[in-house]
């Protein structure tokens, strides 16, 4: 059990201190991944960026992902029996959200160049792994040198999926509980993160330069 995202991020950052390279970029999945990514990026003295991906929820249980997509890619993993019309409508709706987020998150900056970099992909947790799989595919297209996935918590099924993915060079997960229903059950505090809060974290993290291991800027 983590107190909150900052507690999870601090523990995760401790497990990432072994990565010693200047060619490092931390990528967070909005929006809950931004508090995690901010702490990790500050701790490692790396730039922080986002990967704009989002899950496609089941029509009767929105928290359960039947797939995920980015502005370019779509993955469907559990869509048997789901009407094609629903998937098409959700895909169009989610892509509009992602386009809006792209305009918001990159209003004052450009995306980081990932080519030949070591990339650490972070989120506040993983349920099915679908969103993360789309994220990995999107990052891989940019020809990074190495992809590290670092998450506080995920079920065994998601870990098996990620370990079977050849595009993931290293996987770090702090907790892999058998009894997994939702990411939020492993946090004492798990409030929603707004786009405004996420953008503020992104800009603040990249404005200040932190020595490795210093998350306070002191």
pLDDT digits (tens, 9 = 90+) for 132-189: 988 998 899 899 999 999 999 999 999 999 999 999 999 999 999 999 999 999 999 9
Q: Nearest 5°: phi and psi at 134?
A: -65, -40
Measured distance CA(205)–CA(184) in Å, rounded: 25
Per-position DSSP letters for 83-116, written without gaps between them: -HHHHHHHHHHHHHHHHHHHHHHTSS--PPP-TT
Quick check: 215 pLDDT over 60?
Answer: no
Encode pLDDT of 49-95 as tens digits: 999 988 899 999 887 888 888 888 888 888 889 999 999 999 999 99
pLDDT at 130: 86
Predicted structure pTM score:
0.86
- pLDDT level of residue 22 (50, 70, 90 thresholds): confident
Encode pLDDT of 31-52 as tens digits: 999 999 999 999 999 999 999 9
Phi/psi region, residue 209 (left: phi>0; alpha: psi -120 to 50; beta: rest), is: beta
- In sequence order, the β-bridge partners of residue 170 are 148
pLDDT at 209: 54
Domain at 5-52+113-207: CATH code: 3.40.50.2020
3 state DSSP class of 195: helix
Per-position DSSP letters for 14-46, written without gaps between them: HTTTT---SSEEEEE-TTTHHHHHHHHHHHHT-
Selection from 85, 102, 75, 55 nearest residue 165 by Cα: 75
The percentage of residues in the chain with a pLDDT greater than 90, rounded to a whole number, is: 76
Q: At what angle do helices 195-207 and 33-44 cross, to 10 degrees?
A: 10
Quick check: 218 pLDDT over 80?
Answer: no
What distances in angstroms separate CA 46 from CA 97, 110, 135, 175, one per listed residue? 28, 16, 19, 25
Q: Is the N-terminal amide bond of 196 cis, ω within 30° of 0?
A: no
Query: Which residue matches tokens 């909150």?
Result: 4
CB-CB contact of 4 with 190 (8 Å): yes
> Which is it for the CA torsion 173, 110, 195, 206, positive or negative?
positive
CB-CB contact of 1 with 186 (8 Å): yes
Provide mean pLDDT across the span 128-135: 89
Quick check: 213 pLDDT over 90?
Answer: no
Selection from 147, 138, 127, 125 nearest residue 52 by Cα: 138
- pLDDT level of residue 217 (50, 70, 90 thresholds): very low
- pLDDT level of residue 18 (50, 70, 90 thresholds): very high
- pLDDT level of residue 97 (50, 70, 90 thresholds): very high
């Amino acid at each position: 059990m983590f107190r909150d995202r900052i507690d999870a991020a601090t523990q995760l950052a401790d497990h990432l201190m072994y990565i010693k390279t200047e060619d490092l970029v931390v990528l967070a999945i909005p929006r809950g991944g931004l508090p995690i990514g901010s702490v990790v990026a500050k701790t490692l003295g790396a730039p922080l960026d986002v990967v704009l991906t989002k899950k496609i929820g089941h029509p009767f249980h929105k928290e359960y992902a039947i797939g995920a997509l980015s502005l370019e890619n779509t993955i469907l993993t559990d869509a048997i029996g789901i009407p094609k019309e629903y998937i098409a409508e959700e895909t169009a709706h989610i892509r509009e959200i992602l386009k809006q987020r792209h305009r918001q998150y990159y209003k004052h900056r450009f995306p980081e160049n990932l080519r030949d970099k070591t990339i650490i992909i972070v989120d506040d947790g993983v349920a099915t792994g679908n969103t993360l799989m789309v994220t990995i595919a999107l990052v891989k297209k940019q020809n990074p040198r190495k992809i590290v996935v670092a998450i506080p918590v995920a079920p065994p099924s998601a870990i098996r999926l990620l370990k079977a993915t050849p595009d993931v060079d290293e996987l770090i997960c702090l907790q892999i509980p058998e009894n997994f229903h939702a990411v939020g059950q492993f946090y004492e505090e798990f409030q929603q993160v707004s786009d405004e809060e996420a953008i503020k974290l992104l800009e603040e993290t990249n404005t200040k330069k932190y020595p490795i291991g210093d998350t306070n800027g002191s």
